Structure 1
Amino acid sequence: MATALIDEIDVLAKAKRAIGGAYIATADEEYMNDAQQDYFRKLLMAWKRSILEASAGTLQQLQDGPIRDADLNDRASSETDWGIELRTRDRQRKLIAKIDSAMRRIEEGEYGYCEVTGEPIGLGRLEARPIATMTVEAQEAHERREKVSRDD
């Protein structure tokens, strides 16, 4: 799980480098103005492109090299590695759906606002997690409710 999260962060960092770094807002700037929306649109597209490139590499490796280790321990290790890789790619497939949803919200003018409270999510949170749909407070409340219902 930690490996998948690290991979996701690395891919997002790569996308930020591809578009020239983080967005720096000025003090007199309106929240979610055209420049900010354009920045996040480019970031989301670069992030998606990076994920698709990594997925293509995985597919190519699967097609090129079936597991044929003679030693049973080596084979088990290879199969475990492939299982982890495939789970990571499945997680990224789901992430692509969230990226597409964020792109749709940009087009509809809903991006950057909490789906629960309607309040601005904030540029810092969106910079760290461009697919965020809730403010930190709303997300924490959601997770507390989820934990309580899970404990019942």
Structure 2
Amino acid sequence: MDQETLKEFKGLLESQLEALLRDAGKTVSEMTDDQSNFPDPTDRASLESDRNFELRIRDRERKLIMKIRQALERIEHGTFGECECCEEPIGIERLRARPVTTLCIDCKTEQERKEKIG
């Protein structure tokens, strides 16, 4: 992969990481600042349900943050865009759709097929 394309992916990943970290910080501050006390059990349950949903979203984003950091490390080590299974190049279209991917489409398809069987 040429240096220009690597720079493009690095910029994309860094901007995604920055946005995710900013949102996570905002969520934490909102949850700690919120001193809502609802005497009605239904309102309280609704608030708890909303918080649980928000925390599930943030947990998924936390996992994505880790994948983005790993992708940035692969860029630094010169292995970005290389399938970790077959070591063949991952297609640019696949990387554009999912820049944190570590498998080419063939290896990912095979992995999913095995998961369905087993």
Q: TM-score range by the shorter chain?
A: over 0.9
Match of 1:121 in 2: 90
Structure having greater relative contact order (Cα 8 Å, sep ≥ 6): 2
Q: How far apart are 1:145 and its partner, in Å?
A: 1.2
Cα displacement (A) at 1:67: 4.0
- The number of residue pairs the alignment matches comes to 118
Structure 1 runs of 4+ aligned residues shifted over 4 Å read: none
**Residue in 2 that maps onto 1:60:** 29
Structure 1, unpaired ranges of 5+: 1-31
TM-score, L = length of structure 2: 0.94
Alignment of 1:2-151 (within 5 A): 32-149=1-118
Query: What is the CA–CA distance in structure 2 between the aligned matches of 1:147 and 1:100, rounded to whole Å?
Result: 29
Offset at 1:100? 0.9
Kindly indicate whether the alpha-carbon contact (under 8 Å) linking 1:67 and 1:79 is maintained by their aligned counterparts in 2. Answer: no
Compute the RMSD of aligned alpha carbons. 1.1
Residue identity matched to 1:144: R
The TM-score with structure 1 as length reference comes to 0.74
Percent identity reads 41
Alpha carbons of 1:39 and 1:74: their partners in 2 closer, same or farther (altered >3 Å)?
same
